[in-house]
């Protein structure tokens, strides 16, 4: 444990930077992709809706590790090659996006029909009804779920070593093999705890700010 400062300023710091970049990029892409899946999930077209349901059930029903390995191993066989970082973002987005899409759908379904009908009666277009009535209320409802999703993405970042991305777990393994010091994993756990607390605190602050008076 006395060697932790040297670990943190060396390999672990580099791995932490990769993990933070992966967390930020994957959070944005997951939110955008979840909106696309949500549109399919609530589509008036039955075929599109079934495709949305099938996608969600498939990615929620299979392990992330299997999905990461499938994307990493299969795509190059059909001529699609990504860098490890892009592969990791793609795998996390496809997996976690299925969960977030369902959270978005739950937020939409929890809105009473009264405000929507009143806005339509006032002559608002469907786009304005969504932008001014549905979206703000839904966002307030799903903010806690968004915090949980970001936390979920954080906890999936250790799996990306499977595609060769040198994040904290990969760097920790290198440190452990070089020094035979298993306490490096305690340092990594402590870092994840701190990151988790920061995410939880930020989500709670946003939730308080968006709470209706």
pLDDT tens for each residue of 75-128: 888 888 888 888 889 999 999 999 999 888 887 777 766 666 676 666 676 666
DSSP string, 66-102: HHHHHHHHHGGGGT----HHHHHHHHHHHHHHHHHHH
Q: How confident is the model at residue 37 (pLDDT cuts 50, 70, 90)?
A: very high
Residue with tokens 């277009």, as numbered in its chain = 125
Q: Is 171:11 a contact under the CB 8 Å cutoff?
A: yes
What pLDDT sits at residue 122?
67
Q: CA 45, CA 41: separation in Å to the nearest integer? A: 10
22-31, 78-87, 149-158, 203-212: range with lowest mean pLDDT? 203-212
Average pLDDT rounded to a whole number, residues 15-33: 92
In a 10 Å sphere around its CB, with 0-12 CB exposed, 13-18 middle and 19+ buried, how is residue 198 labelled?
exposed
Q: CA 77, CA 84: separation in Å to the nearest integer? A: 15
pTM to 2 decimal places? 0.82
Q: CA 39, CA 31: separation in Å to the nearest integer? A: 13
What pLDDT sits at residue 116?
64
> Is residue 28 scored above 90 in pLDDT?
yes
Q: How confident is the model at residue 6 (pLDDT cuts 50, 70, 90)?
A: low
Which of 1.20.1250.20, 1.10.3720.10, 3.40.50.280, 3.10.450.50 is the CATH number of 7-210?
Answer: 1.10.3720.10
Average pLDDT rounded to a whole number, residues 158-173: 80
Which range among 3-12, 36-45, 72-81 has the greatest average pLDDT? Answer: 36-45
What pLDDT sits at residue 7?
57
What pLDDT sits at residue 204?
85
CA torsion sign for 15, 16, 17, 21 is: positive
Q: How confident is the model at residue 173 (pLDDT cuts 50, 70, 90)?
A: confident
Q: CA 188, CA 186: separation in Å to the nearest integer? A: 5
Question: Domain limits of the chain?
Answer: 7-210
């Amino acid at each position: 444990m006395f060697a932790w400062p040297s670990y943190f300023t060396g390999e672990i710091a580099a791995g932490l930077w990769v993990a933070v970049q992966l967390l930020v990029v994957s959070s944005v892409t997951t939110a955008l992709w979840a909106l696309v899946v949500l549109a399919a999930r609530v589509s008036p077209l039955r075929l599109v809706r079934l495709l949305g349901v099938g996608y969600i059930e498939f990615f929620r029903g299979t392990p992330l590790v299997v999905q990461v390995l499938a994307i990493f191993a299969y795509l190059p066989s059909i001529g699609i090659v990504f860098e490890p970082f892009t592969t990791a973002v793609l795998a996390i987005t496809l997996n976690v996006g299925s969960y977030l899409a369902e959270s978005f759908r739950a937020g939409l379904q929890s809105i009473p029909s009264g405000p929507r009908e009143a806005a339509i009666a006032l002559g608002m277009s469907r786009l304005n009804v969504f932008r001014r009535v549905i979206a703000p209320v839904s966002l307030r409802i799903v903010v806690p779920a968004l915090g949980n999703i970001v936390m979920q993405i954080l906890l999936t970042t250790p799996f990306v070593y499977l595609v060769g991305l040198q994040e904290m777990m990969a760097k920790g393994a290198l440190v452990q093999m070089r020094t035979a010091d298993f306490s490096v994993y305690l340092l990594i756990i402590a870092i994840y705890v701190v990151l988790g607390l920061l995410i939880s605190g930020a989500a709670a602050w946003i939730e308080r700010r968006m709470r209706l008076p």
